[in-house]
Structure 1
C-alpha cells in the first residue's frame, strides 16, 4: 500500500482506541492523516493522535466530540463512525426490554446520526468529505440473541444509503462497511464475557464462532484487514463509490 494516501487529510474516528477503530486510526495515521480518536474512556493512542474522551451514544457526548474535533482539526474530511457494541440478551429477543433496545439504538444507530448531523454540514460547505459507517453483517444475518443490535445496524444501512443520496450533489460520499467475525483485542474481551455467560471455555466459544461465522476462508478477519478496506473507501481511489454497503465477512453470506 502507498503509505501517503492521506497527506493533509483530517480524520475523526469514533471508538478509536480498540479493535477495528484502533486499527483504522493506525492506518490513517500511517498514511499521513491528522487524526482525532473518540473513546468513552481515556486510553493510550499513537503519537500524533488527538484523543477525545466522550460517550457518543449520548447527545451531549456526540456534541462534545464533534465540537472538539472540529476545533482541533480545523475541519473534517473523513468521519469514521465506528463506535458500536452488541448489547445482547441470552434469552432471546422477547426478553429484551425497552432499556436494552434503546441502548443498542443509541450506540449503534443514533451515535452516527448525531455525529453526522454535527459534522456533515461542514463537509457540504467545503464541497468534499467522506463518511464511513461501520455497520455489521448482523444487519443481514441476525442472531436471536443480538436482534436489537442487528436491527440497529440494519437501520444504519438504510440511513447510510439515504444520506448518501442526499449529500452526493455537494461532493460528500457516504458508505457503510459490514464486518463479520473479526477477532481483535476488544472482541476477545467480549468473547470471554459471552463464554462466561454460557458456562463454557473461551476456546470452546471461539471454536463455535469460527465454525458458524468464519465463512469459506475458514478463519476470522483481522482488525488490520477491516482497516485497510475502510482506508480504501476513505481515499480518493474510491471517489466514485457512494451509497454502498461493503461486506467484510470472508464470504460468509452467499448472496447480497
Structure 2
C-alpha cells in the first residue's frame, strides 16, 4: 500500500526515460504525486500524455540523448533525480548462433549506451543530494536464451551503475539500480493475452504459464508497475540517504540465488 507524501519531492526536478508507459509512467506519476517536477522522455507519446511534461526523443541514438539533455537544461533548469528506465528487447528463438551484430548493437544502444551518454551529459548538473537510478533486470543474473543481448546489456548496466556510484559518492550523489522481474505492464498483459488466445486458455492460466517459464514466482503473481515505482521513490528520497551502489531485486521471489 502506497503512502505518498505530497511534499516529499517538492522543489526537485526529475527525468524519467521511457516515462510515458509501463514502469516508467508509474515512476513518473509517483514522483509527481510526491511534488516533483517530472520530465518524461520517450520515443512517442500516448494520447493522454501532456506534451509539456514530456520530450520525444530516441535515447538509443546520440541525437536523442543530446535532445533529452538539452530539454532538461532548457525546461527544468537543472536536474535532481535521473531515472533510466528506457529499455526493451526483441525475441530471437535461434539463440546466439542467429543473433546478428545489428541486433546486439541495437539492444546495447537502447539498454546501455543511452544511459551512459545521458549520465555523462547530466552528472555535472546534479547537486550534492542528487540521485540516479538505473533500471536493470533479473535477466542480468538469470538470462533467457531468447534475449541474450538484452540480458548482457543489463549486466553491463548493473556493473556500470556500481562503478558510477563509487565515482560520484564523494560528491554526495547516490547511484543505485533496481532489477524488476515479471511486471505486468501493458505490453506484458498483451503477451499474456496472446498466449491465452493461442493456447485456448484464460488470462490467469496464461500468466501461470509465463511464470512457470521463468522458474515460478513464490508470491504467485506478477508485479505491478506501481510496485517498482514505490521502490524507486524510496531510493531517491531522503529516507535512503545512506544507500548507494546497491541493486535491489523486485521480482516476487523468482530469483532463488543470494
Q: TM-score when scaled to structure 1?
A: 0.92
Q: What is the CA-CA distance between 1:103 and the residue it aligns to?
A: 1.0
1:66-85 mapped onto 2 (5 Å cutoff): 66-85=69-88
Q: Deviations over 1:22-56 (max 9, x none)?
A: 00011001000000000101324566961100000
Give me the whole-angstrom Cα distance separating, in 1, the residues matched to 2:131 and 2:152. Answer: 24
Which runs of 5 or more structure 2 residues have no equivalent in the other structure? none
Conserved in 2, the CA contact under 8 Å of 1:28 and 1:35? yes
Provide the residue aligned with 1:221 in structure 2.
223
Give me the whole-angstrom Cα distance separating, in 2, the residues matched to 1:201 and 1:175. Answer: 42
Conserved in 2, the CA contact under 8 Å of 1:55 and 1:61? yes
Q: TM-score when scaled to structure 2?
A: 0.91
Give me the whole-angstrom Cα distance separating, in 1, the residues matched to 2:242 and 2:143. Answer: 30
1:49-128 mapped onto 2 (5 Å cutoff): 50-123=53-126, 126-128=127-129
Give RMSD over aligned pairs.
Answer: 2.1
Give 3-state SS (helix, strand or coil) of 1:145's partner: coil
Give me the whole-angstrom Cα distance separating, in 2, the residues matched to 1:222 and 1:166. Answer: 32
Provide the residue aligned with 1:134 in structure 2.
135
Conserved in 2, the CA contact under 8 Å of 1:93 and 1:146? no
Provide the residue aligned with 1:152 in structure 2.
153
Provide the residue aligned with 1:235 in structure 2.
237
Aligned equivalent of 2:29, options 19, 26, 29: 26
1:207-218 mapped onto 2 (5 Å cutoff): 207-213=208-214, 214-218=216-220
Conserved in 2, the CA contact under 8 Å of 1:35 and 1:48? no
Give me the whole-angstrom Cα distance separating, in 1, the residues matched to 2:235 and 2:146. Answer: 31
Q: What is the CA-CA distance between 1:183 and the residue it aligns to?
A: 0.2
Q: What is the CA-CA distance between 1:3 and the residue it aligns to?
A: 3.1
Provide the residue aligned with 1:184 in structure 2.
185
Deviating more after overlay: 210-219 vs 225-234: 210-219
Provide the residue aligned with 2:172 in structure 1.
171
Give me the whole-angstrom Cα distance separating, in 1, the residues matched to 2:153 and 2:198. Answer: 28
Provide the residue aligned with 1:12 in structure 2.
15
**Number of residue-to-residue matches in the alignment:** 252
Give me the whole-angstrom Cα distance separating, in 2, the residues matched to 1:140 and 1:134. Answer: 14
Conserved in 1, the CA contact under 8 Å of 2:192 and 2:210? no
Q: Deviations over 1:46-86 (max 9, x none)?
A: 66961100000101101101111221111100000000002
Conserved in 1, the CA contact under 8 Å of 2:39 and 2:54? yes
Give me the whole-angstrom Cα distance separating, in 2, the residues matched to 1:45 and 1:82. Answer: 20
Give me the whole-angstrom Cα distance separating, in 2, the residues matched to 1:42 and 1:189. Answer: 19
Misfit runs of 4+, over 6 Å? none
Give me the whole-angstrom Cα distance separating, in 1, the residues matched to 2:145 and 2:156. Answer: 17
